[in-house]
Amino acid sequence: MNIREQIEEREALLLSPYAAKSRDAIRDIEEAPDPLRTAFQRDRDRIIHSKCFRRLKHKTQVYIAPGDHYRTRMTHTLEVGQIGRTVARALRLNEDLVEAIAMGHDVGHTPFGHVGEYALRDMVGHFNHNEQSLRMVEVLEKHGEHQGLNLTTAVRDGIVGHTGATIPVTLEGQIIRIVDRIAYLCHDFDDAQRAGMLTAENLPFEVREHFGMTPSSMITAMVEDMVRESLDKPVISMSSDIEMTMNLFRQFMFKNVYLAPALIPDRNKASHVVKNLFTHFMEHPDDMEGCESNREFYSTRDVVDYVAGLTDQYAIKLFKQYYIPNITL
């Protein structure tokens, strides 16, 4: 029995009956199994080694071009992975699957995060970052000579289902859906204090009562509740009290941070950059880097993929190049 087979054996013996087992993982194109790593470990590694993953370092979470101690999409992704693994291990679910989904969930985010997402949606009518993350790993990234990373169905289902109407099939995917929120609320609260936008005293009373006043106590309260509620159950959930408090915390963060007047000028500039770049590349597709010179036709989809894939700084550089060379961003 090779090492991978031993790990698969341990999964079958030790994991919860509700856990996804890597032995059962399915890929569209069959591959020879790895001697050391399970299918989900391999998916995680494939995502971490991809270009779209590296670009997360240069994409906004909340603040555009902040200081070095603020979160980017990369640190957010790592924090989702860490919290997700804690929950998965506590529930005897598949940690490797949770980690793979976490690493891939935001690779489709546009430059400037949600602002870029809304700007592209305004231009083309339909654009969601979770669908773009799926497209990134299925179509836009390459694995060897092949188009797409050929990830397992469980990882792809978790990536596209991390937000939006469709709930993931696996409990591991359901963990990411909740943990993504826990991670961003707590780390954005931390960054907002760093930016002087608010203090812990500003938090609603119920949040202070249930979660405490530090990012760490907040994560602990939500994670422990999630584990307690989901233990030995075929679904991942939170108690109604904690879920309500979390929603209150989320409303507070939208009002005081995400949609705060102080961030509006930066959000407007970012939206302007994305919309103008989109218009520019629709009119001049030859300016898209890496475009094939012999190709006659570029579709709207090609331009959306190109603009969505840009990092913040690269988008700003291109904007300056094609539009206003002296804008301050």
Ligand X SMILES: Nc1nc2c(ncn2[C@H]2C[C@H](O)[C@@H](COP(=O)(O)OP(=O)(O)OP(=O)(O)O)O2)c(=O)[nH]1
Binding region for ligand X (CB under 6 A): 61-62, 106, 113-114, 129, 162-163, 180-181, 184, 188, 258
Q: In angstroms, rounded to a whole number, what is the distance separating the alpha carbons of residues 187 and 72?
A: 10
Q: By CB neighbour count within 10 A (0-12 exposed, 13-18 middle, 19+ buried), where does 145 fall? A: exposed
Least distance in angstroms from the C-beta of 130 to ligand X = 6
Least distance in angstroms from the C-beta of 180 to ligand X = 5
**Based on CB atoms, which residue is closest to ligand X, 214 or 271?**
271
Spatial CB neighbours of 240, under 8 Å, sequence gap ≥ 6 = none
Q: In angstroms, rounded to a whole number, what is the distance separating the alpha carbons of residues 125 and 77?
A: 27
**Based on CB atoms, which residue is closest to ligand X, 85 or 181?**
181
272: number of CA atoms within 13 Å, CB side? Answer: 13
Nearest in space to 278 (alpha carbons), one of 131, 135, 116: 116
Least distance in angstroms from the C-beta of 126 to ligand X = 16
Task: Name the DSSP class of 18.
Answer: T
Q: In the complex, which residue's CB is closest to ligand X? A: 163
Least distance in angstroms from the C-beta of 232 to ligand X = 26
**Based on CB atoms, which residue is closest to ligand X, 258 or 314?**
258
**Based on CB atoms, which residue is closest to ligand X, 2 or 216?**
216
Least distance in angstroms from the C-beta of 258 to ligand X = 4
Least distance in angstroms from the C-beta of 123 to ligand X = 17
**Based on CB atoms, which residue is closest to ligand X, 143 or 250?**
250
Least distance in angstroms from the C-beta of 166 to ligand X = 12
Q: In angstroms, rounded to a whole number, what is the distance separating the alpha carbons of residues 296 and 315?
A: 25
**Based on CB atoms, which residue is closest to ligand X, 272 or 320?**
272
Q: Which amino acid is at 235?
A: V
Q: Which helix (H) or strand (E) holds 147?
A: strand 146-147
User: Helices (DSSP H) in the chain: which residue ranges?
Assistant: 3-14, 39-48, 51-55, 73-90, 95-104, 113-124, 129-135, 153-160, 171-194, 205-211, 215-230, 240-253, 264-283, 300-309, 312-322
**Based on CB atoms, which residue is closest to ligand X, 93 or 115?**
115
Least distance in angstroms from the C-beta of 308 to ligand X = 13
**Based on CB atoms, which residue is closest to ligand X, 65 or 231?**
65
Q: By CB neighbour count within 10 A (0-12 exposed, 13-18 middle, 19+ buried), where does 34 fall? A: middle
| 326, two tokens | 């002296």
Q: In angstroms, rounded to a whole number, what is the distance separating the alpha carbons of residues 39 and 149?
A: 12
Coil, strand, or helix at residue 196? coil
